A and B are shown apart, each in its own frame.
Chain A
């Protein structure tokens, strides 16, 4: 009986939460537009976009980083010298988080949440969390070169942010290698 009552209490709370979700409009919070992010990242002179194709070995590596197949076959980026900017989407729990990542010399120079659509876990947008990514690179096993302090109650959003950072570093490494080998 106690177990059922406990379950019911939790479930009634869930029902209440679901009702609130039904009433609230399901729209994301935009913290920074992609255009502004790019402009800020390149000192006001955004370079023209380029893209990398997720094919062959790179597709497999991207899938291993994300834990699922990437949504698209190509990813757009903006590059100037050793600096590249990536705007990526990744699902937190059920909704996509849009983040901007700037990679310079194979290290993260900037990490920012551009749009957050989940109902919980938006704390990942704050600088105290995103600043932890700055200076991190990608190890050979595609893990970040340093540890991150997570946020209680935002585990899935933290994981999504970490995966986007790893993916940006992986793609930046690939893009630079392709650029170096180009005639």
Chain B
């Protein structure tokens, strides 16, 4: 019986270690900060398939740039917001930058620091632009346009006012790669890796079955260990029963 115990232990030992350690890590995920720590290793990101097929919308705003990918906003290639639903565009206004999603505007300083998430505005926004006197304008439909005061506190509907609407441009290759790297990393926490490891999904489609096998092996180890110990005691040596 102890022979079986050793064989099972040798074959499944590594998987059991993975199960145990990832389980402990998940149990203490918050204390260890695993839910806040993100993965940046390119090989791991590629292995996990953490890539987006979505298009990057790039807006060159003087010396700086804003890019929108999925719900994420990047300033000069660095992610500054993760939850801008339905990115619409970005414009430069006096001393600030306005990035619109369909239900809010992120008002940024010229250096990309968030001033305010402006949610009190006409929605759903389908376009953002700048009027000739430098005010932010949003379009709900081509015929339904609103402009704000300088502080984006209040909005009023305007008719036939010329607006330069934001339009995405060509993204430089270096910024594109930086954004894709940041996008993949931001979406993948260490906790997620531990979950994938613990469930076996990280090893592919058959990974969960592999981990099921390891879990059953743990039961078998318990059974063979106890049985072997009892048999050994009956034989009187109590130490190494074969």
Q: What is the interface of chain A, defined by CB distance below 8 A to chain B?
A: 1, 3-5, 7-8, 10-12, 14-15, 18, 34, 48-51, 71-76, 89, 93-94
Contacts and interface: CB of A to CB of B under 8 A. Distances in A.
A170 B167 CA distance: 41
A94 B30 CA distance: 11
Given A1-B221, A5-B222, A10-B23, 7 more contacts: A4-B19, A8-B19, A8-B215, A10-B27, A12-B23, A72-B115, A72-B117
B23 A8 contact: yes
Interface size, B (range): 20 to 34
Contact of A73 (B20, B29, B114): B114
B155 to A, nearest CB: 11
B154 A11 contact: no
Given A1-B218, A74-B116, A7 B20 contact: yes
Contacts of B114: 71-73
B115 A74 contact: yes
A69 to B, nearest CB: 10
Contacts of B26: 10-11, 14-15
Q: Which 5 A-B pairs have the closest CB atoms?
A: A11-B23, A7-B23, A4-B20, A73-B115, A72-B116
Nearest to B25: A11
B174 interface: no
A71 B104 CA distance: 15
B27 A7 contact: yes
B215 A76 contact: no
Interface string B153-164: 110000000000
A70 to B, nearest CB: 9
Contact of B195 (A15, A48, A72): A15
A10 B221 CA distance: 20
A3 B221 CA distance: 14
B168 interface: no
Contacts of B22: 11
A11 B198 contact: yes
